[in-house]
């Protein structure tokens, strides 16, 4: 957008256009903090307006609250496992409890279902019967690839997972008894089929996590998201928030290093086992162990399966250049 100030028009429309231009320029040039970081996530979503808008888009309900609390922990008499939620708010008039958790590791479904149902037990504790006097909603925001697997061991790649407490008939028809619900959102798995109201928020989170950000990919036309972008501005952190942010960043680095180390060890073990099996099979066919032909086959096989050249070279006591040459000469 370009605005000429040669013939200045002080009309309302002109003033609005200028203000909008400056807003776009401000958003375009700014760097927003990664919402994958717990400190930044809380800074943004403890805002009442943003919290309410997020809840409405994800759960489809409107709530009236005057504050968003942090670090809620269930009483030990209810849940012997200490588990704290990042954000908590209660609409006392509608008797509705909303809790939000942001996670970047330990994505065990059982962990969150435990906390969800423990919340329900907590409600019944002070009730004369087994009735629930409040509705409980839990939103879990996952900012990395799922590690959740179904009971058959298959890794899940869903964008939205919903758990509720309503029974179903043998025909699969749901009988609505309660409003309690847990919704797990995976920002990484957002796709074209993700409901737009939810996708707008996941786009915000994903874009914030990138080194090279494109604010145009975030739906800043939505008032609450536009406010979230401004609250995520890096320069607005307090010294305390900045210090905690660095701690969270280093924690993530350590987790990533541990996962990488475990992956490398797993690959090395797998390669040793695979190479041993391949060599034994080669010997059975009369192929001498350690021949060039066998080594080439091993290199090509590992490369085809995505093993890094540096790892192949180290495993076969070769240089990376030698491995690259063999791959190049034997690949059509």
Same domain? For 230 and 279 the reply is no
Q: At what angle do helices 48-59 and 223-231 cross, to 10 degrees?
A: 130
Domain that holds residue 196: 31-237
Same domain? For 166 and 292 the reply is no
DSSP code string of 221-267: TSHHHHHHHHHTBGGG--HHHHHHHHHHHHHHHHHHHHHHHHHHHHH
Residue 3 lies in a domain: no
Same domain? For 297 and 161 the reply is no
Same domain? For 141 and 224 the reply is yes
Q: Which of 216, 237, 258 is a domain's end point?
A: 237
Same domain? For 71 and 204 the reply is yes
Q: Per residue in 177-188, is it b (16+ CB within 10 Å) or e — as a string? A: eebbbbbbbbbe
Taking only the tens of pLDDT, the chain with its 332 residues reads 444 433 444 444 555 444 444 444 444 456 888 898 888 899 999 999 999 999 999 999 999 999 999 877 766 555 556 667 789 999 988 888 888 888 876 556 888 888 888 888 877 776 666 778 789 999 999 888 777 778 888 888 899 999 999 999 999 999 999 999 999 999 988 999 999 999 999 999 999 988 888 999 999 999 999 999 999 886 666 666 555 555 555 555 555 555 555 555 656 666 666 665 655 555 455 444 445 677 787 788 778 777 778 777 777 777 777 788 888 878 76
Residue 66 lies in a domain: yes
Q: Is 56 helix (H, G, I), strand (E, B) or coil?
A: helix
Q: Is the dihedral of CA 205, 206, 210, 215 positive or negative?
A: negative
Same domain? For 225 and 307 the reply is no
Q: What is the pTM of this model?
A: 0.65
Residue 257 lies in a domain: no
Split into its structural domains, the chain has a count of 2
Residue 98 lies in a domain: yes
Locate 124 and state its tokens: 């019944």
**Which residues, 6 or more positions from 326, have their beta carbon under 8 angstroms from its beta carbon?**
296, 299, 300
Residue 146 lies in a domain: yes
């Amino acid at each position: 957008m370009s605005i000429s100030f040669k013939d200045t028009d002080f009309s309302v429309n002109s003033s609005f256009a200028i203000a909008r231009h400056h807003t776009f320029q401000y958003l375009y040039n700014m760097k927003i903090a990664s919402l994958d970081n717990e400190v930044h996530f809380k800074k943004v979503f403890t805002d009442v307006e943003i919290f309410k808008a997020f809840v409405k888009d994800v759960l489809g309900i409107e709530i009236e609250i005057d504050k968003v609390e942090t670090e809620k922990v269930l009483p030990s008499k209810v849940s012997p496992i200490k588990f704290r939620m990042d954000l908590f708010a209660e609409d006392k008039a509608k008797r509705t409890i909303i809790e939000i958790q942001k996670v970047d590791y330990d994505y065990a479904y059982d962990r969150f279902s435990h906390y969800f149902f423990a919340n329900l037990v907590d409600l019944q504790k002070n009730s004369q019967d087994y009735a629930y006097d409040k509705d409980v909603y839990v939103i879990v925001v996952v900012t990395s690839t799922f590690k959740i697997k179904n009971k058959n061991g298959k890794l899940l790649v869903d964008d939205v997972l919903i758990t509720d407490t309503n029974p179903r008939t043998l025909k699969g028809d749901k009988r609505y008894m309660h409003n309690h619900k847990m919704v797990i959102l995976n920002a990484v798995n957002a796709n074209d089929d993700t409901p737009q109201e939810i996708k707008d928020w996941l786009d915000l989170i994903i874009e914030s996590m990138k080194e090279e950000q494109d604010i145009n990919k975030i739906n800043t036309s939505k008032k609450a998201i536009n406010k979230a972008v401004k609250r995520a501005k890096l320069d607005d952190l307090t010294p305390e928030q900045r210090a905690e942010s660095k701690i969270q960043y280093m924690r993530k680095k350590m987790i990533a290093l541990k996962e990488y180390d475990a992956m490398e060890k797993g690959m090395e073990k797998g390669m040793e086992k695979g190479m041993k099996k391949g060599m034994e099979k080669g010997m059975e066919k009369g192929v001498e162990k350690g021949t060039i032909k066998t080594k080439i086959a091993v290199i090509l096989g590992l490369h085809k399966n995505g093993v890094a050249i540096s790892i192949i070279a180290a495993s076969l006591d070769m240089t990376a250049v030698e491995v690259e040459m063999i791959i190049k000469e034997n690949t059509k």
